Structure 1
Amino acid sequence: MSKVFVIGATGQLGAAVAKGLLERNVSVTAYVRDASKAEKLFQQSSNLNVVQGSYDDLDAFKAAVTGHERLFLMVQSFDNMRGIKSAFAKIAYEAGVKQIVDISCTQDMALSWRSNAVSENHRESEEAIINIPNRGRYVALRPSGFFSNFFMGDVHTVRHASAIMGCVPADEKRMWISPTDISLLAVNVLTEPIAKHKDCVYEMTSESLSGDERAQILSKVLGKDIKYVQRSAVEEYKALTSYGTPHEYAYGLVDYSTLGHVNVGLPILLGRDTESFETWVENNKQTILQ
């Protein structure tokens, strides 16, 4: 089985991908800022190697990536996503990596050219990697809104106001996907033949839900009456920036139009049905209510 290098292995998705690979007896190298955090996340395994490094100093990555056939690329950067991703990818391909699996941005933000800072950041990153000379394969996973984005703000209003909030009408649909499904697809692609997935792009939306529909599901699972409350775009923007979201990203998230649709082919890639929002809430119920 190919050795897999995982960037961002202590983050939500990276950790799930690393654990999924280890469960399949794959040799994994975890590239992390904090080695002690990685040791707490992962059980001792002869198949796990931890390398401490950062986005800014790629010497550790360059020294460690040789001998790996595959790379999982998950980069969280508002300011220099394109530069970071392309630098990792170029070093990896030159070191002999044959396949990169990248977490990119979904179709529901694929608007007209330069109309949205969020989608533009991801588009530029994909183009930079695709245009690397003599590169290996490049698979882009494009998830829509993570169910787990709930913990960025909704969890607080659910606990203290029995409500979730947004700046769109209560019946307007938004696109969603479970992080469990995202990590599973990444693990599948990283362990299946490289020739199967080639340079595929996989859009990832499993459910189209309005604010009212999400509130109804939360009410059912949590056993308390949850309402969807529409607030102004200004209030939404202020909430996002209060969480540390930079202006261009906060504005893009508030102002984007929903263009996506449910990707009915996902069970083919996952080998099972997608996880519903209701199931995800059920699985995270204790954390939400604590």
Structure 2
Amino acid sequence: MIVVTAPTSNIGSKVLQNLLDADAPVRVVARDPATLAPGVAERVEVVRGSHADPAVVTEAFAGADAVFWLVPANPKAESLDAAYSQFARAGIEAFTAQGVGRVVGISALGRGTAVAGQAGYVTATLAMDDLIAASGVPYRAVANPSFMENILRQVGAIKNQGTVYGPTTHDLALPLIATRDIAAVSTRLLLDDTWTGFDEVPALGPEDLSYDDVAAIISDVLGKPVRYVQTTPEANLKMALDQGASEAMAHGRVDMATAKNNGLDQGVTRTPSSSTPTTFRDWCTEVLKPALDA
């Protein structure tokens, strides 16, 4: 039995579908089972509730060969620790109490870099990874850079202004990854019962791109000019607060962006095993353009 947390999330839903395609037995933890993709609820066991709830994870993780672990975004959390490590504590206890065979979690690049300790969301994610690893459960942290899907938040700006906005230095080449590739790596690890211990599994996409490159590729795919505009930390903080984030989470988002500009995502060399297949051009053609045309 493989348990999937956050099964309606961008990554979790893809992991879930991959597992069903592989005919794996699946149990999901869902706050609202009605939000599962059509036809999914009939094919899985469903435990209703949050995977921060001790009673829910005790039930959900019983007899689990593997667990897919993903902390849901909580921009209103009172602290970064509350959003990550505190959220995970009940699950971590249940991993060991219920004898879970192995855990695959969604994490971030940055461990071992000079800025990892001041990287906001990433610092908190790595601290949670350490707690999971310390429990003794076999754990693989899938370490990712920024997601291509983040560009979808700017469909309106691209369509109406011909502009992509962001905090990243305009000519700094960094890895980007499609969430379907993260799901593919996670699925492979969930189905593989041969690994033990703790390790990070970097997933880096196929190439490093600057946001100038990103804008140029979007322009080419859409057949219209699109430019990149770098925003200031002050503007990014105000935007996060205006969107309803707590002070702690807003500052955490800005700190993460600053750390990425200072090398957070550049500590791992791309290898054949860490390279994933979806290029940004592929993603623009298959995901972004249809979203803009809708």
Say yes or no: does 1:258 pair with 2:257: no
Which deviations, in whole Å up to 9, do the C-alpha atoms of 1:112-153 show, x marking residues without a partner?
463222222112101111222xx331111111100001123x
- CA-CA distance at 1:225 after TM superposition: 0.8
Provide the TM-score with structure 2 as the length reference. 0.86
1:58 corresponds in structure 2 to 54
Identity rate, percent: 21
Distance 2:41 2:126 in 1: 37
Relative to structure 1, the CA distance from residue 108 to residue 278 in structure 2 (aligned partners, 3 Å threshold; closer, same or farther) is farther
Shift of 1:109: 9.2
Residues 107 and 203, structure 1, Cα contact 8 Å, conserved in 2 = no
Deviation at 1:51, TM superposition (A): 1.3
Query: Corresponding residue for 2:185?
Result: 185
Deviates more, 1:212-221 or 1:237-246: 237-246
Counterpart residue number, 1:13 = 11
CA distance in 1, matches of 2:124, 2:10: 21
Shift in Å, 1:59: 0.9
Matching residue's letter, 1:68: A
AA matched with 2:57: F
Which residue number corresponds to residue 142 of structure 1? 143
Correspondence for 1:288 = 292
Question: Is residue 118 from structure 1 mapped to residue 121 from structure 2 by the alignment?
Answer: yes
The answer on whether the counterparts of 2:47 and 2:59 sit within 8 Å (CA) in structure 1 is no
Contact 1:26 1:47 in 2 (8 A): no
Q: 1:93 aligns with which of 70, 76, 96?
A: 96
Number of paired residues?
279
Partners of 1:108 and 1:136 in 2: how far apart?
A: 20
Distance 1:34 1:263, change over 3 A: farther
Matches within 5 A, 1:1-290: 3-38=1-36, 41-44=37-40, 47-76=43-72, 77=74, 78=77, 79=79, 80=82, 81-107=84-110, 110-112=113-115, 114-132=117-135, 135-152=136-153, 154-195=154-195, 198-206=197-205, 207-245=207-245, 246-256=249-259, 257-261=262-266, 263-265=269-271, 267-268=272-273, 274-284=277-287, 285-290=289-294
CA distance in 2, matches of 1:15, 1:88: 20
Per-residue CA distance 1:142-197 (angstroms, 9 max, x = gap): 11100001123x222102210112344421223311111100000000112333x6
* d(CA) in 2 for partners of 1:185, 1:24: 14
| Cα distance change, pair 259–281 in 1 and its aligned pair in 2 (3 A) | same
What's the offset of the Cα at 1:16? 0.6
Instruction: Report the CA distance shift for 1:109/1:230 in structure 2 as closer, same or farther (over 3 A).
Output: farther
Q: Is the 8 A contact 1:9 1:30 kept in 2?
A: yes
Contact 1:174–1:209 (8 Å) recurs in 2: yes
RMSD over aligned Cα, in angstroms? 2.3
Deviations 1:71-116 (A, max 9, x none): 0000024542112223202202221211000111212894446322
- Counterparts of 1:36 and 1:148 in 2: how far apart (Å)? 24
Q: Structure 1 unaligned segments of length 5 or more: list them.
A: none
- Per the normalisation by structure 1, the TM-score is 0.87
SS in 2 for 1:136: coil
- 5+ long unaligned stretches in structure 2: none
Deviation at 1:63, TM superposition (A): 1.8
**Equivalent AA in structure 2 for residue 275 of structure 1:** T
Contact map agreement 1:108 1:144 (CA 8 A) in 2? no
Bigger RCO (CA 8 Å, 6+ sep):
2
Q: Distance in 2 between matches of 1:108 and 1:231?
A: 26
Deviation at 1:269, TM superposition (A): 6.6
Aligned residue type for 2:137: G
The answer to whether the 8 A contact 2:118-2:256 is kept is no
**Whole-angstrom distance in 2 between the partners of 1:114 and 1:268:** 27
The whole-number CA distance in structure 1 between the counterparts of 2:30 and 2:242 is 27
Task: Tell me the distance in 1 between the aligned counterparts of 2:10 and 2:116.
Answer: 30
